[in-house]
Structures are given as structure tokens and as C-alpha cells.
Structure 1
């Protein structure tokens, strides 16, 4: 059944990452189902089961990372997987829908405390790291910091998607399967060119492993963990946040231009990133 569900998700146009996340979430639901009800044969989804599972997620389930109760966003992600499962596998028996998602008040993104100097320090550490992948990783970090791409968008870049002569990257399948053109600066052009000089692998992917396969996000997360200086909290998403702050504080870009670069369908989403870092806030507070 899970294999059929995954196949239907692919046919429905879901990304590889979405298929993986939704599949794992539905498996988690079935584990809860059999842990709760024993060896009762699963026949179909029931509204009663959905409501009990939602209560379990809200009141009992703990985060494997923090040990705290799940946040509304995590709960909604798991419920969204069940909504998809219901729609694709049992379309004549809809018992869970978007109306079951927990309403979340849009919050301002926490002010970033990472400065450009710290980002540059991190980039240099990545470049000077040992191994043949240093130039590749440096190019990835540079793209994330100075083009504002999501990590999935960066790793999904094909060699045909980049045109260094015109300083352009083509994002073929961004969030929501939206395509866009991103203009990049000379830092990115230089980093990618130097990486390409060392890339002799026949692969369609711009960033790939030693077998020519698309690079896994786990590999990049490991790079960040190993190269991030002590006391810093730099992640792929931190670099995307940094890009937004850096772009708006430059005074050169308009909000709609930044939204287009970052792939936001609404400038309201972009505005959530428009917070100065904590040090800038402290300086302004002292001037009151």
C-alpha cells in the first residue's frame, strides 16, 4: 500500500522530498494505529481515528530533537501527509481535510544574529577544509548565502540550469513546483567556475557525489556541522535568511525584487524576513 501511495504521489507531481516526508509521516500514523488498536486489520480511514491521532500529536507525541511537545507546524505537516493519503488512496472516503490543520498566527521571523563577517569566515573555513569536495561545498555555501536559494533548490540544479556568462541560475522546480530565474553576483560566478575546473565527472547534476548522483542534503548538513565555528549557528536556512537581510539592508533592492529572487509567491512572506540583526536592534534602542 505504501509503495502504491508513493507512486501516486510522484504521478501527482509531488517532489522527491515531499514524497519522502509524506511517506514517513503516514508510516508513523500506521505505527500509532497498530500500537493503539493492536492487531486489528486496517480497512480504511475513520474520522474517529484521525481525531484521536491529532489529539495524540498535540498532547502526547514528543519531538525527537527537543523532547518537547510538537509545534503546530510539525503537527500540520503530519496531518497534511494524511490529507494527501486520504485524497489519493481513498478519494471516496474523505475524512480529513485542510480544515483539520491547526491555525497558526503568522509570526515574524526571529532577527538573525549572523553577520556578514561571520558568514565570510564560515565560507573561508569551508574553502580551506580538507578533501576534494572543498571547492564544491564552497560553491554551494556561496550560492546559498548570495542567491538566497533553498537548499533543495541548490542541490536540484542541473549543469544546464546555470549560465555564468549571463549570471543566471534557472530554478526549474522551486517550492510549489514554481520555476524562476535568479540573477547571481560575481562571488557565485567565481566560486562555480573554480569548482567546475575540478569537476570531471559525467553527471547532469551541478552538485553531485563521487558516483555522479545528485548530492544528498544530509551530506551538506554534515559539512555545515563540521565547518561551523564554535558559538555560531549557521545552517542552510540561516544563509537564506542572511541573504534576505543583506539584500534589504543594502537599499538597492525593492521588496518585490527580493521576493522574486527568493521564490516567494507573496511579498508578505518576504516581509517576515526583513528584520535587522540583534546587534543593529541594540544600537537603535540605545539611541531612543
Structure 2
């Protein structure tokens, strides 16, 4: 018969010990390194705060103390307001931690049953506009306007960047998934892209169009060595950080706010505008819940106007 924590004399109630136990559990469940890093950061922050207020026993961390902690981190020591997303990230990490403690019978009930989540601002995250997309394509198409005899090594990187941008915009892949995509996982005839062990270690299928394949094939033909990697830089395979740096430099060069995540968001909204089914779009993007997809879909006034024009009850009845 399992005993609750209060009856188990061998169990440590030290916050630091329970955090380490929780992180070990996360590793055993094969959570991603990024998730582990986030949990470790937030829980380590909580542990250090606890030490400053003489809180070392996890059983004493009730909803009042946790509410005080969440209130205390709203601003920095210099009085600067912290991001609502930072506060919300702390809340989610602690909630997951205390859920684990209940599951392991360290606690009888989680204090988070009585704690409301911090409110997040509902900001509209804009996708790329058509003009911005055309500007990006034009910027990375300079090599195409040169005679072949005048093209050099730098033009290969322009071609790679253009193929990379179109690949991400056309497939909706995450930046980590893009960096991990191998040559063999892209069918250069059908445009089928196999995403191996995407987020949550889930395999899935997405596609790119013939236009994207046109530039992708040109880029692949010019690769100096035919290895297994699809995206290659000057010093070897491109990492997710390397891809992010490419778009960061682009933003500085042409003055357009762009990131891999914004490209993915643009894929979602453009697919929707072009008539894609939400459930199939969810599968292509690798979301387990359609509510996650909805956060990507920024509906502009022009979209609402077009929808109303097409479906207006009065217009369709009387005209």
C-alpha cells in the first residue's frame, strides 16, 4: 500500500530535491531539451526566491505563498515590468511541477486548484503581407538576373536562402524541423516532405509546390558535396540558430520584420485564405489540437469583408 508523503519518513520535502526529482521524471518521459531548459530555469528561479523568504519545505508552498511569489516577479529589482509571457511561463511551469507532486503523492492536492492563471494580452500577431513576400523573393533573386558566367559562390547562398524561404513558407515547418530535414526526406517529384520526429517526437507529412521544387532543385544541384543534409552553410549543416540568423540579417537588410515563426504563421493564414480545410491544415502544421492552430490565424478586416460579401444573408436573399 502506497503511503502519502506525510506518512513517509524517507521522503525529502526540500524544494530543491523535489525539483530535481521532477526534472528526472521529465527526462524519463523524453521531453525535449528546450522544454527541460524552460522548466529548469523557472523552477530554479522559484527555488532561489524560496530561499530568500526561508521557504525550503515544499509542503508549505500553499496558494497564498505562490500568489505572493507570482506577484513579486511582476517587476524586476529596478522596477521594470516583466513580460506577461514570462509571468505566464512561470505559472505554467509551477502548475506542471505541482501536478507531478500530487501524482507522486508528495502532496495531497495542488495549490493551483485555487490559483487563476495570469492574464495574457491578446495581441494580434501579423503574418507577412503579399508585398513583403514579394520583396523578400526579389531581394534573394538577384543571382537569377545575372548571366550564368558572372555568378559566384555568394550567389549560391542567395539561391539557398530563397529556396529555404519558399520551403518554409510552402510547407509550414517549424525552424527545428526545417534544420533537421534530410535530402532523402524530400520527394523532388511529388513535393512530399517527411518530417521525422517533429515536436512531441511525432512524424508527419507535408508538401511543397512545383514552384518551390524548381528553386530547391537548382540549389541542390549546386551543392558542393552530395551528403545527407539538405540545408548547408559555409561551415557545415545549418542549425535552427543558423536559419534564424539568416532571417535576422534579412530583416536588417530590407527593413521587414521576419522570423521563422512569422513565416509559419503566414503559411497558416495563406492556406486558410486559399480555402484549406482546418483539420488538414492542423495535420500539416503538426498540431494535436485545432485550438492551437487558431492562435496562428490572424483574420484581417479584408478577410471579414470578403466573407461577409460572399455570405451576407440580405445580399444573397434580395439580390
After TM superposition, the score normalised by the length of structure 1 is 0.72
Is the Cα contact below 8 Å between 2:32 and 2:200 reproduced in 1? Answer: no
The DSSP-based 3-state class of the residue aligned with 2:205 is: strand
> Residue 163 of structure 1 aligns to a residue in which SS?
coil
* SS of structure 1 residue aligned to 2:49: helix
The partner residue of 2:245 within 211, 222, 229 is 222
1:258–1:91: structure 2 CA closer, same or farther, 3 Å change rule? same
Supply the distance in 2 between the matched residues of 1:224 and 1:117 (Cα, whole angstroms).
17
Q: Does 1:110 align with 2:134?
A: no
Rounded to whole Å, the distance in 2 between the matches of 1:3 and 1:197 is 49
Paired position in structure 2 for 1:144: 168
Structure 1 residue corresponding to 2:257, chosen from 229, 233, 242 = 233
Q: Which has the larger radius of gyration?
A: 2
1:56: how far off?
3.1
Normalised to the residue count of structure 2, the TM-score between the two structures is: 0.66
Superposed, 1:172-251 pairs within 5 Å as 172-200=196-224, 205-207=229-231, 212=236, 215-217=239-241, 219-228=242-251, 232-251=256-275
Compared CA separation, residues 262 and 14, structure 1 to 2 (3 A): same
User: Equivalent residues in 2 for 1:23-172 (5 A)?
Assistant: 23-34=40-51, 36-37=52-53, 42=56, 45-48=58-61, 52-62=65-75, 67-71=80-84, 73-83=85-95, 87=100, 91-94=104-107, 96=110, 99=113, 102-103=116-117, 110=124, 112=126, 114-126=128-140, 133-172=157-196
Aligned-pair distance for 1:122? 2.0
**CA-atom RMSD in angstroms:** 4.2
Give the number of equivalent residue pairs: 276
**2:140–2:161 CA contact under 8 A, matched in 1:** yes
- Supply the distance in 2 between the matched residues of 1:21 and 1:131 (Cα, whole angstroms): 39
| Counterpart in the other structure of 1:20 | 37
Q: What is the alpha-carbon distance in structure 2 between the residues aligned to residue 3 and residue 196 of structure 1?
A: 46
Q: Determine helix, strand or coil for the equivalent of 2:193.
A: strand
User: Alpha carbons of 1:201 and 1:55: their partners in 2 closer, same or farther (altered >3 Å)?
Assistant: farther
1:9 pairs, out of 23, 26, 36, with: 26
Distance change (3 Å), C-alpha of 1:211 and 1:232 = closer
Query: CA offsets per residue over residues 162-181 of structure 1, 9 Å max, x none?
Result: 22233111222333333210
C-alpha deviations, 1:240-260, integer Å up to 9, x for none? Answer: 221122112223x22222222
Does the CA contact (< 8 Å) of 1:143 and 1:188 recur in 2?
yes
How big is the shift at 1:215?
0.2
- Structure 1 residue runs of 5 or longer lacking an equivalent are none
Structure 2: stretches of 5+ with no match in the other structure: 1-16, 144-153, 313-319
Report deviation, 1:14: 0.8
Q: Is the 8 A contact 2:168 2:178 kept in 1?
A: yes
